Amino acid sequence: MRPLLTPEEMRLADRTTIEAGTPGEVLMERAGRALARATIRVLGRRYGGRVSVVCGKGNNAGDGYVTARVLHEMGMSVRCFDVFDEASREGDAATHLRLMLDSGCPAGHFGPLALRADVIVDAIFGTGFKGTVEGPARDAIVAMVGSGVAVVAADIPSGVEGATGRVEGVAVTAVATVAMGAEKLGTVLAPGADHAGDVEVAPIGIALQGYGAAMVEATDMIEMLPRRAVGAHKRTGGSLAILAGSDAYPGAALLTARGAQRMGAGFVELGCPEVVRRLALTRLPELITHEVVGSEAKGFEEALQRADALALGPGLGVAESTVALVSEMLDGFPGPVVVDADALNALAREPRALLERDRPTVITPHPAELGRLLGSDAATVQADRMGAARHAAERFGCVVLLKGRNTIVYSDDDQPQALIVPTGGPELATAGTGDVLTGAIAALLPHRPARVAAAAAAFVHGLAGSLAAVDRGVSGVTAWDVAEQLGSVRDDLLGPAGSSLA
């Protein structure tokens, strides 16, 4: 997993490294050199191109001064432009400003000349920026964005908040961002992620300690996904109960079941209305179905007793009986549960069962559903996705999988608390893909801790969408297409080395 740090965590790591004996000006030198190398890669050549380095205050400006000096000493056409008064520089940034000026690198205040470049290096604000950009910095950013010139950002695009990815007002849109020591949350969480371009981590010698978030990578799947043993039978693959579907939404139940089957569940039983049962007979003959009417789940009780995990919610509808049914399931089922869709809407009306549940539970809301659970709205959730996921995990004592670009899986009882899943794209923006994900998570719950099951299923689900898009086109992918790719993606991630559901 790749560490993702908040600005405060990065400041602590930076300070610890300096106290251990590495001077701050040395770290700044390394950062600026990494930024210079990235600038050359974006430019595509060393000679014949023009580079403008735009600097603000503090350490971010210091990185820019090093970059300008290094590129100038290479013989490149480079100019450094300050947005603020140079007299405001202090500490290591002031040291590197003097070194840059001593090198003979041309320098001046930001103006139209800065836009006459092939690449602009953005070193205005660092990861600690909050709020709205104003004054000369705002004018500079507006001009840079409007110029159409490729921008390389130092650590984070200026105007993006490092802890949340929030953008209030204007922000630089970069083609590449060089993250010093570790990537920051602000370049992973939207809308900051939309401003960052390609993010490269520059290892400049900062010793990372505790951090609260990490990016899940393909190599992590070797440990996160269970393997099917050579001698496996249907029960070792996991027995699942699914309570889903209604007369109005029969397809949701089938998509959930198909997601579970393709993710590797060995035995799946579905509780649903009669209309869904008839549909399942023709589309999913492997399923065992039980009729559930209103809040009466008597015919489903034996399935619950056999099940290792329960998937609850897709397509249940919004009738008053749904609230009672969801509460009954959460109160009575002793194993892990994944809760989605209409079950979440029921819990927004009556959250008691979720608040009181003390067994592994995963909730999988999109921003509007999480907003309802927290008594707010989708816009509030999107403004601070990490904060909203944390709030819900702490309030309900469960694992929260918050859907969206770079899905967040948050659990407040393990480290790192937040796992960010980078897979998945616009091809998943179609009805039913969330139901498939619910089934995929349920399939892993008997074999892995709840947060691991959620993150691994989301990772595979995102890649399955991408693979489906190869055949169908991004706009032509359906949820069923995604479900059908889950098994292939899972096996590819695990590789040929064999067995054991460890």
pLDDT per residue over 308-335, tens digit each?
999 999 999 988 899 999 999 999 999 9
Say if residue 502's pLDDT is above 60: no
* 39 within 8 A of 64, measured Cβ to Cβ: no
Q: Where among 211, 231, 253 does a domain terminate?
A: 211
253 and 125 within one domain: no
* C-alpha span between 463 and 229 (Å, rounded): 24
For residues 206 and 222, state if they share a domain: no
So what's the pLDDT on residue 231? 77
pLDDT of amino acid 178: 98
Model confidence at 501: pLDDT above 50: no
Residue 464 Cα distances to 264, 418, 457, angstroms: 14, 23, 10
CB 38 within 8 A of CB 176: yes
CA-angle at 11, arms to 415 and 192, nearest 5°:
75
Task: Report pLDDT for 294.
Answer: 74
CA–CA distance, 161 with 7 (Å, rounded to integer): 9
Provide mean pLDDT across the span 28-41: 98
Instruction: Decide if 14 is inside a domain.
Output: yes
56 plus 150 within the same structural domain? yes
Q: What is the pLDDT of residue 350?
A: 96
Dihedral pair phi/psi, residue 263, rounded to 5° = -85, -5
Contact 39, 152 (CB under 8 A): yes
Pairwise CA distance, residues 259 & 238, whole Å: 14
Residue 502 lies in a domain: no
Q: How much is the average pLDDT of 232-236?
A: 81
Domain count, the chain: 2
Looking at the structure, do residues 170 and 227 belong to the same domain, yes or no? no
Query: pLDDT tier at 100 (50, 70, 90 boundaries)?
Result: very high
Q: Which of 185, 211, 237 is the C-terminal boundary of a domain?
A: 211
Residue 56: domain span: 2-211
> Is 235 in the same domain as 177?
no
Instruction: Identify whether the C-beta of residue 258 lies closer than 8 Å to the C-beta of residue 280.
Output: no
Quote the pLDDT of residue 56: 95
pLDDT surpasses 50 at 499: no
| Whole-number pLDDT of residue 232 | 81
Averaged pLDDT, 148-175: 97
Burial code of 102-116, b = ≥16 C-beta within 10 A, e = fewer? eeebebeebeeebbe
Give the CATH number for residue 449: 3.40.1190.20
* pLDDT tens, position by position, 438-459: 999 999 999 999 999 999 999 9
- Do 89 and 181 share a domain, yes or no? yes
Please write the tens of the pLDDT for every residue from 186-231.
999 999 999 999 999 999 999 998 899 999 999 999 999 999 888 7
Same domain, 461 and 338: yes
Its pTM surpasses 0.75: yes
Does the pLDDT value for residue 156 go beyond 90? yes
- Taking CA atoms, 175 is separated from 66, 115, 152, 478, in Å, by 20, 16, 6, 31
Q: Are residues 207 and 275 in the same domain?
A: no
In a domain, 500, yes or no: no
Inform me whether the pLDDT recorded for 490 exceeds 90: yes
What's the pLDDT tens digit per position in 111-151?
999 999 999 999 999 999 999 999 999 999 999 999 999 99
Same domain, yes or no: 91 and 233: no
Residue 182 CA to residue 355 CA, distance in Å, equals: 36
> What CATH number did the domain enclosing 33 receive?
3.40.50.10260
User: Average per-residue pLDDT in the chain?
Assistant: 94
Task: Work out the number of other CB atoms within 10 angstroms of the CB of residue 15.
Answer: 12
Q: In percent, how much of the chain has pLDDT > 70?
A: 98
Q: Tell which of 189, 211, 233 closes a domain.
A: 211
Specify the pLDDT at position 271: 96
Domain identity same for 318 and 378: yes
Please provide the size of the chain in residues: 502
Mean pLDDT, residues 418-443: 97
Mean pLDDT of 391-398: 97
Same domain, 192 and 222: no
Task: Determine the residue type at 285.
Answer: P
Question: Can you tell me the mean pLDDT for 48-62?
Answer: 94
pLDDT score recorded for residue 87:
55
Q: Could you read off the pLDDT of 260-284 as tens digits, one per residue?
A: 999 999 999 999 999 999 999 999 9
Side chain identity at residue 107, one-letter code: A
The tokens for 95 are 């040291």
Q: Do strands 288-291 and 267-272 pair parallel, antiparallel, or not at all (unpaired)?
A: parallel
Q: Provide mean pLDDT across the span 397-416.
A: 94
Query: Which of helix, strand or coil describes residue 209?
Result: coil
